[in-house]
Structure 1
């Protein structure tokens, strides 16, 4: 079941509000941010049942309904939920802001703001990405800075001043104390936040071409596996323990890849979206997870796939994403959207629900993602 909602603004970011996994509920609230509009805003939407909710437009059940919105200074370049109520945004003005969604009154207010977190000596520098592990927030920017904040403190916890001489485009947590950044010259850098050093603990890069990388996501169960995408539309899978080049490269899109996301609870599924107007669902079948008696015959050779077994590790920990021989990797790709012409800027997936936002001023919601 898919619904499209036209929202008369270009949607730059879209994220589901987290749900508690124990409750097995499907997500029903998501947030969006806009860009390249005269007045940008962040908006909260619901796809739940609206029995007499105030101020909601008429619409079919399951259609996204706007609950509330709030003006945002500058383009929303990233947006993440800190918890059930708080949303952190990265702005083209260089600001990092925490907004609070008040669920009783269905209003939004600014909870905290670091106005010129990212800046050049005489101008603002866009804040390009944020990642949260409550109460900690890490932001990156065009100024090559990495900044660590705490939601419960007004000051800045830590700044790595010259973390990068080029633009840092995105950041993710690798572990509780380690982050990974990607930059405009095709490098991934690992940072250990326990170290006071201002240099990365590891640098990985695409050999040869310095293709800007725009997005990164970490495998939810195997923290050494990350996926990146960038200007050339290629999907790269990396094993940060093995060497400094990607384990596998796949032709994904014909233009810039803006976001990549592993499914948070079923990481054999991965999703990418692009400037080329497409949203792809990638599915790999991991034969290593099959009991050995099912692996007889032709599939037995697929179990190892050239991936290196971790030292002292167990064969079933080898991810199908690290296959170097994609001829055997049974990777299936599905287009998730009707033919699009304008950029798909952002996507998020949780449970069986997927949401994406486009430059065509539309939000698409699919509530039956086959994962």
Structure 2
């Protein structure tokens, strides 16, 4: 079956979108987080068919949780709980009812002005989660780790960077990698008593921000970073601490990357250029023991890359996939549902 792309206007610029996973059935519910609105919000939606005869599903809003500032990240800490960061420096832990999605989100913990310049608030630019722990970064250059179980701030690395941090990723339970505005990457051992990185290197030769970082789902030593220029950097932490390959990719900055939950060889990327791509990453994940065996990936021609929908004239900020269905949210105030994705 061909890909079926369906867009719905929702009157909000969508910065983050996340399917709410279900165990045994195809999920129909999802979260959105908005930005650049007078009052931003996290909403819970459900896809419904208006006519049983038609195969067209429309998103219906179930509940809304209003926030000050822009929503900068949404990540699950467990099946029914999300950590949300906002541009006013706050982080919240919100719980959704597993039985009734129409029940408003309930705040279990909040960390106010977690990122700040003294009395002045600044953005919590991103966060990542692993096994109930949350790591946050901000414009203040600090890294915080939080416990979703107790609500404690378990560690603060003050002055982790001299400029704004843009991306963070757990790749082991006690290790995170951060990327800043100038493309400087740092690896932090959260058990270490001092505030010095375990390793640091440049994303690429030119000073371009590292906009997002993820690790491979089954081989977490493979790290991928998207840059402000639209390129993808790939490296293997077992061999070296700097990117082994730089893939020329999107025409403008990479906004988000996600490996398909069921197929770790499928990578989805979205871009400020309004592009949504599906990469076959099998070539990258061939097991390598030494850097000599590394498969050269100088440009995307060595890999199979498909465009999943015609490019938009506005940035696609966020993607989320579940089985054969992909969601994306954009600055044109629309949500797109792509069905029949072969994974």
* Cα displacement (A) at 1:370: 1.6
On the 8 A contact 1:285/1:329 being kept in 2, the answer is no
What number of residue pairs does the alignment pair up?
A: 335
CA distance in 2, matches of 1:32, 1:310: 42
On the 8 A contact 1:36/1:75 being kept in 2, the answer is yes
Aligned residue in 2 for 1:4 = 7
Structure 2: runs of 5+ lacking an equivalent: none
Q: Which has the higher strand share?
A: 2
Q: CA RMSD of the aligned region, Å? A: 2.5
CA distance in 2, matches of 1:155, 1:287: 39
CA distance in 2, matches of 1:239, 1:202: 14
Corresponding residue to 1:362 among 334, 337, 341: 334
Change in Cα spacing, 1:284 to 1:131, as seen in structure 2 (3 Å) is: closer
Which is further off, 100-109 or 78-87?
100-109
CA distance in 1, matches of 2:86, 2:300: 43
CA distance in 2, matches of 1:330, 1:95: 42
* Cα displacement (A) at 1:46: 1.9
Aligned residue in 2 for 1:294 = none
CA distance in 2, matches of 1:285, 1:212: 27
CA distance in 2, matches of 1:273, 1:77: 16
Aligned residue in 1 for 2:87 = 92
CA distance in 1, matches of 2:288, 2:155: 37
* Cα displacement (A) at 1:229: 0.9
Corresponding residue to 1:66 among 51, 57, 61: 61
| 1:350 pairs with 2:325 | no
1:1-371 correspondence to structure 2 within 5 Å = 1-20=4-23, 23=24, 25-47=25-47, 62-102=57-97, 103-104=99-100, 105-286=102-283, 308-309=288-289, 323-325=295-297, 330-371=302-343
On the 8 A contact 1:47/1:61 being kept in 2, the answer is no
Change in Cα spacing, 1:328 to 1:121, as seen in structure 2 (3 Å) is: closer
Of structures 1 and 2, the larger Rg is shown by 1
Change in Cα spacing, 1:196 to 1:62, as seen in structure 2 (3 Å) is: farther
TM-score by length of 1: 0.83
On the 8 A contact 2:49/2:58 being kept in 1, the answer is no
On the 8 A contact 1:257/1:273 being kept in 2, the answer is yes
Which is further off, 354-363 or 246-255?
246-255
